[in-house]
């Protein structure tokens, strides 16, 4: 199991999820509002999440396709990632993320 922190407004919620699930998987289990309309095939970017600054360098870098999808987002930030591409392994124990601000 991997502990993951989700920050929303001024609160931080802690979840435990089986390792090798994605942030998109977690959102569905934990009722976090991430649409994920393409179910992880990198065709929608509706799984946009913001990785906490302390964690962004610790997760594997995005592939070319993910970078392309992220570059199309109007609310892209340097900590933006696609939640369907972030696999929660034991190495990411304690990873923290949030959702992007609406534009
Ligand atoms: Fe569509 Fe992640 S669910 S890109």
Q: Is the CB of 80 under 6 A from ligand 1?
A: no
Q: Token pair for residue 93?
A: 């124990």
Distance 72 CA to ligand 1 centre (A): 13
Q: Is the CB of 40 under 6 A from ligand 1?
A: yes
The bridge status of strand 95-98 relative to strand 2-8 is: parallel
Q: Token pair for residue 90?
A: 């034991």
Digit-by-digit pLDDT tens for the chain (103 residues) are: 999 999 998 899 999 999 999 999 999 999 999 999 999 999 999 999 999 999 999 999 999 999 999 999 999 999 999 999 999 999 999 999 999 987 6
DSSP reduced 3-state for 12: strand
What does the pLDDT read at residue 7? 97
What does the pLDDT read at residue 103? 62
Distance 27 CA to ligand 1 centre (A): 12
What's the pLDDT tens digit per position in 65-89? 999 999 999 999 999 999 999 999 9
- Answering whether pTM is above 0.85, one says yes
């Amino acid at each position: 199991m991997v502990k993951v922190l989700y920050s929303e407004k001024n609160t931080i919620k802690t979840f435990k999820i089986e390792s090798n699930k994605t942030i998109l998987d977690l959102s569905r289990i934990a009722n976090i509002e991430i649409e994920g309309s393409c179910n992880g095939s990198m065709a929608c970017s509706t799984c946009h999440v913001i990785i906490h600054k302390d964690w962004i360098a610790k997760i594997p870098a995005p592939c070319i396709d993910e970078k392309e999808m992220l570059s199309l987002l109007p609310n892209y930030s340097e900590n933006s990632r696609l939640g369907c591409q972030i696999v929660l392994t034991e190495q990411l124990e304690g990873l923290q993320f949030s959702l992007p601000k609406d534009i």
